[in-house]
Amino acid sequence: MSFSQRIQRGQPEYRVANFKNGEASTAITLGQPVCYDYTTAADGFTVKLPVTANLQFPAGLVAQASIAGGDYGQVCTGGHFASAAVLGTTAVAVNDPLVISNGLTTLSKATLVTNAVGQFKPCFVAGAAQAVTGPVAIKVQVNC
């Protein structure tokens, strides 16, 4: 079930959906990226942390403090998200595309090739710069 925040003056619009944490015993926390689980559950509402088998199925960013293993919680699937977990091994600038990576619980700066055939629109775009070399929370535009 997906729903949008009621539009209010001075607050950004965003969409969230209720998803099930498919990780057996690992909690997923605020700002971490998750992917649809099409390797085991394949039900359209179970999500897991990014691994090679599900990198093509980004679902969004965890929108609440923590979702325990096997429990349900909210994931931001679109709009402005204020505290995405981003790894700054390379400096991130506003408007840089961000991607999920195998085994990481953070987003990282994408390396895109200009005019490459088959290149797709990124689901996550940086809304704030980051020069820190560690996971930090930054503003991100989400479009999953």
- Residue 28 clears pLDDT 90, i.e. is over it: yes
For residue 3 the two structure tokens come to 């729903």
Give me the chain's average pLDDT, please. Answer: 86
Q: Supply the pLDDT for residue 6.
A: 57
The average pLDDT across 34-53 equals 93
Q: If pLDDT is split at 50, 70 and 90, which confidence band does 62 have?
A: very high
Q: Supply the pLDDT for residue 117.
A: 59
Q: Supply the pLDDT for residue 120.
A: 64
Q: What is the pTM of this model?
A: 0.87
| Interacting residues of 50 by C-beta distance below 8 A, sequence separation 6+ | 33, 34, 35, 58, 100, 101, 102, 103, 104, 105
SS3 102: coil
Q: Residue 82: which of 35, 49, 127, 131 has the closest Cα? A: 127
In the chain, domain spans: 12-143
The average pLDDT across 41-66 equals 92
Q: If pLDDT is split at 50, 70 and 90, which confidence band does 130 have?
A: confident
- Residue 88 clears pLDDT 70, i.e. is over it: yes
The average pLDDT across 45-62 equals 93
Q: Tell me if 5 sits within 8 A of 14, measured CB to CB.
A: yes
Amino acid at 30: L
The average pLDDT across 30-34 equals 95
The average pLDDT across 16-32 equals 94
Q: Supply the pLDDT for residue 34.
A: 96
